[in-house]
Structure 1
Amino acid sequence: MIWLLVIALALAAFAVAFVLMRGARSRWPVFGAALSIGLAGYALHASPDLSGAPATGRKPEPEFAFALVDARREMMADGMRSHNKWVLTADAFARRGQFETAAGMLGNALEEKPDDAEAMLALANVLVEHADGALTKPALLAYRRAARLDPKGLAPGYFLGLALIRQGQLVEARQMWIDTLATAPADAAGREAMAERLGRLDALLLQQIQMSQPAETPAQAQPTP
């Protein structure tokens, strides 16, 4: 029920903005970002009752930090998972919200093994969290490197899409997820979960479009004689 209220409020705000600010397109990113607060967590969590993702400038809630690590492990193929002690320790710090410390440990892991795909992806994620949800240039670079290290995996594209959602770039995130699913093998780890979350994103985008359309008046609904 919490998620229904969050999403309803976000969509309602978007609809009001559409009516009051029609034509002021320069202000749309602000309202897209508001909508993304609820949407990012909804896309990440398998359970819609968990707390949502933090907006840029807000500290992440503990449930989100835990879910971020668990989802990364879920999306990694067995052969691509890292067993580096630095990664395991970094995850423990990330779960406590100590992202700067986690980033330093992941740097150690990558110094030992530069082609560790999961360590690179984990670094991208904690860089986003350390920036309070902002997709910084270093984080974007880390996501791209993770994708090169794991070209058949879904995880880099999935988490980059999640980061885009948190910037309010919902359409770009959707395309990222579609492209990632299209190029990954049919048996890629996490495919079912990612496809299900893409469905959630599509459903909420459809709601956004429907609420932005002006309601038909009774006069408009009458058939032409």
Structure 2
Amino acid sequence: MNGWFIIVVLTALAGAAIIRFGRAERATFELVAAALLIGLAGYAWQGSPSQRGFPVKVAGQDSAFDEDVAKQRKEMGERFSQAGQWLVLSDAFNRRGKNEEAANVLRVGLRQYPDDPNLWLGLGNALMVHGGGVMSPAAEFAFRRAIKLAPEMPAPAYFYGLALAQSGQPQQAEKIWRDLLKRTSADAEWRGDLETNLGILERSLNGGAAPAQGDSSLSENGTGALEQ
């Protein structure tokens, strides 16, 4: 019983600290509470507060979540949308290796904001992580939906091309990126990154080594700021 009392107190303190020191806006209070309750529910399901604890290390555990992709996605416009709070929570699940939960969080967000392209884009990226770099029909639908909702935004086309390249479809990725390059201004900060990735694809299509399925090396070339 003491174990549960401690857990509840720590949960309450954690929520208060996030709101006070994290400078969370009032609109995000419910999301913070929901995240804490999810953690508490998970502990209630799997935890054993009455038993003595000991450290456990999972050998070989390695999340496929790419911090560079998350950073770049934020630089491409999500901070200005209503999707931000859901994407932050999804990223938190991904960092813990809970990739399925990360995708499910975005599905919940889409029920509230079904026409937000950033949420659809985030779902596509989350499904790519969950699928180990394989383009599933659900992931492709999410990327295409984001492009349809915001055809003028560079982010959906850029990340759709990146997903195609990483899933072993360089020809399709090249087409998406070439179309994007045609409508990209010469002074765009991210144009150089796009041209670099196109060069990698061209070399692979001309007999060089193609990006392996699930390879995230292309994403490392696209860390500059992409503007709407």
> Residues 57-68 of structure 1: matches in 2 within 5 Å?
60-61=63-64, 64=66, 66-68=67-69
Q: 1:197 aligns with which of 193, 200, 219?
A: 193
Structure 1 stretches of at least 4 aligned residues deviating more than 4 Å after TM superposition: 58-62, 205-208
1:192 alignment partner, SS class? coil
Residue 147 of structure 1 contacts residue 156 of structure 1 at CA under 8 Å; is this kept in 2? yes
- TM-score normalised to structure 1 length: 0.57
The alpha-carbon distance between structure 1 residues 192 and 203, as it changes in their structure 2 partners (threshold 3 A), is same
What corresponds to 1:101 in structure 2? 101
> Residues 105-184 of structure 1: matches in 2 within 5 Å?
105-183=105-183
Aligned partner of 1:82: which letter? Q
Whose relative contact order is higher, 1 or 2, with alpha carbons under 8 Å and at least 6 apart?
1
- TM-score normalised to structure 2 length: 0.56
CA distance in 2, matches of 1:180, 1:132: 26
Residue 177 of structure 2 contacts residue 194 of structure 2 at CA under 8 Å; is this kept in 1? yes
CA distance in 1, matches of 2:196, 2:70: 21
2:103 alignment partner, SS class? helix
Give the gaps of 5 or more residues in structure 2.
1-60, 210-228
Give the gaps of 5 or more residues in structure 1.
1-57, 213-225
Deviations 1:55-79 (A, max 9, x none): xxx96545x2x11211111222764
Deviation at 1:178, TM superposition (A): 1.6
Larger helix share, 1 or 2? 1
Residue 60 of structure 1 contacts residue 132 of structure 1 at CA under 8 Å; is this kept in 2? no
The alpha-carbon distance between structure 1 residues 61 and 87, as it changes in their structure 2 partners (threshold 3 A), is closer
Deviation at 1:124, TM superposition (A): 0.7
The alpha-carbon distance between structure 1 residues 204 and 103, as it changes in their structure 2 partners (threshold 3 A), is closer
CA distance in 1, matches of 2:117, 2:164: 20
1:73 and 2:69 aligned: no
1:144 alignment partner, SS class? helix
Aligned partner of 1:137: which letter? P
CA distance in 2, matches of 1:85, 1:210: 43
The alpha-carbon distance between structure 1 residues 143 and 207, as it changes in their structure 2 partners (threshold 3 A), is closer
CA distance in 2, matches of 1:211, 1:107: 39
Aligned partner of 1:198: which letter? L
